[in-house]
Each structure stands twice: as C-alpha cells, then as structure tokens.
Amino acid sequence: MDKISAVVISYNSSSTIGNCIDALKKVSDEIIVIDSLSTDNTAEICKQKDVIFFQQSWLGFGPQKNFGITKASYNYILSIDADEIISDELATSIINEKKTGLTGIYSFLFRHFYYIDFLKHGASRPGTKIRLFNKNNVSWDEKEVHEALIIPKEENIKQLDGYLYHYTYISIAHQIIKINSYTTLGAKELLKKNKKHFLLKMIFSPAVNFIMNYFIRLGFLDGIHGFIVAKLAAHESFVKYAKLWEMETKKKSTAK
C-alpha cells in the first residue's frame, strides 16, 4: 500500500486543528504541521495529537506549503490547511486509492462554511481543488496569496468521492480579520507585478465582484447569508486596491 504524508499549514487554528488532525489520521502515514508562530494553543493541541510539528515564520502561502513538503518522508502529499476537515466518505475514497496504488493527482470536492452554515451558491459555492499529489511531479507556486499548484500537462487528474469541509470563517469578525491579512498579501503581489489603475479598480472592481457573486453565481439564493458574503467579498476587493495605492505612493515617496 502506498504511503501518504499529510502537510498542514496553521496559524491560530485551535478551533479546527484538532478535528483536522483526527480526520487525517484515518488516511495518512505521517502528519506534518507547519505552524507560523501561533499565539493561541495550536501548538499544544498538535503536540497532544503526536504529529511532527515545526514552527516557521510566515513565508507566504505557496512558500510555506513548499517548506512543509520538504519535511515529508513520502512521495504522495496530502496538502491541507488547518481549517479543512476530511469527511468520512472522502477518507474512504483515499484509503481505497492507497490500496489499489496511487497514480497521478487527485481532486477533492469542497464545501465552504461561513459563520453559520455551508454555502450552496456564490463565489464560495461547492467546487473542486487538487490536494493529493506526488511531490516529485507537482509543487506549489511561490505566490504569497492565492497560491496554485504547478502541474505538468500530462498528469492525470482523478476526482474522489466525498467532501473536504472548509471552515472558512467561523464569524463575521473572523472574516474581517482575515480580510485585512489577505488584502495586504494581495496588494504586495500586485505591487510586484507593477499593477496600476488604482482608482478604476477601486471604483469598478467591488461592483463587478458583487454582481458576479450575488447575481450571476446565484449568491442571492443563500438569502441574507449570501448577501453578507458577497458584500464582504466586494469590500475585500476595494481594500486590496486601496492598499496597493498606498504601497505604491509610499514607494514613490521613498524613492525621491
């Protein structure tokens, strides 16, 4: 039977990390947690769960995940965030693949939890993401945020049955904190690419974002829940470009 190294990135994840690890133990032969210096009791929970635990200052999403992969003993990597939990059905699917022999890469069905329930529509409607792959063929890119896997064209992708549950935001307050972090990282990525047009983006991007998520992607079918999610996503878009303007302005001022 093939073996799997689960690689988990975490930061202040005490509300989900225990359940995340317990689910991973059903399918993984080792669990590696890369924690970016949590200030809650994430580290204590991990140590109680007897996982391989490293603390690494934050490198950005892509680099942090790649750092974790370098610590893995086995070729097949199950790359998970600390707020993601494998369902029993998905665990069974992974175990069956291990028994028959892992080949190619594997995508999982995702469901996203916001505040009170899982969303059915909008930007965070159920979808698929690749999370199980051979580290010799696949790796994460080096983006600080919105990281993606670098996958050879010839790789075969198989979708497994069962969901990976993503506990995205446990409250609106939690989302607002994360928005502040993500928009800073996103603005830094745009600054690296020398992106401009701050004013146009600040004016039009939030409106387009809201229309796409609330109307075109049917977020309105999730009621008030869907409206709040779409509205905050639009706000996130505005804040990202406002921060880009601020960073570029300070950069020009420093260069003088």
Give the model confidence (pLDDT) of 23-33 as tens digits.
999 999 999 99
Q: Are residues 118 and 237 in the same domain?
A: no
The tens digit of pLDDT for each residue in 129-157 reads: 999 999 999 999 999 899 999 999 989 99
The Cα-based distances of 130 to 150, 176, 212 in angstroms read 11, 27, 24
Query: Would you state the pLDDT for residue 42?
Result: 98
The Cα-based distances of 122 to 22, 57, 192, 230 in angstroms read 30, 33, 30, 7
**pLDDT band at 172; cut points 50, 70, 90:** very high
Q: Are residues 74 and 110 in the same domain?
A: yes
Q: Are residues 103 and 165 in the same domain?
A: yes
**93 has pLDDT over 90:** yes
Tokens of 15: 């509300």
Domains in the chain, number = 2
Residue numbers of the domain that contains 30:
4-169
Phi, psi of 19 (to 5 degrees): -65, -35
- Among 169, 195, 221, the domain-final residue is 169
Q: Are residues 109 and 72 in the same domain?
A: yes
Q: Round to whole Å and give the CA distance between 179 and 174.
A: 9
CB atoms within 10 A of CB 156: 8
Q: Are residues 117 and 190 in the same domain?
A: no
**255 has pLDDT over 80:** no
**pLDDT band at 196; cut points 50, 70, 90:** confident
Query: Would you state the pLDDT for residue 156?
Result: 93
Amino acid in position 77: I
Q: Are residues 113 and 42 in the same domain?
A: yes
Q: Are residues 16 and 90 in the same domain?
A: yes
Regarding predicted confidence, which is higher, 254 or 234? 234
C-beta separation of 28 from 95 below 8 A:
no
- Among 169, 187, 221, the domain-final residue is 169
Q: Are residues 38 and 54 in the same domain?
A: yes
Query: Would you state the pLDDT for residue 210?
Result: 98
Q: Are residues 178 and 108 in the same domain?
A: no
- Among 169, 187, 215, the domain-final residue is 169
Q: Which residues contact 253 (CB under 8 A, 6 or more apart)?
A: none
**What does the mean pLDDT of the chain come to?**
96
The tens digit of pLDDT for each residue in 47-79 reads: 999 899 999 999 999 999 999 999 999 999 999
**173 has pLDDT over 80:** yes
**pLDDT band at 99; cut points 50, 70, 90:** very high
Q: What is the pTM of this model?
A: 0.93
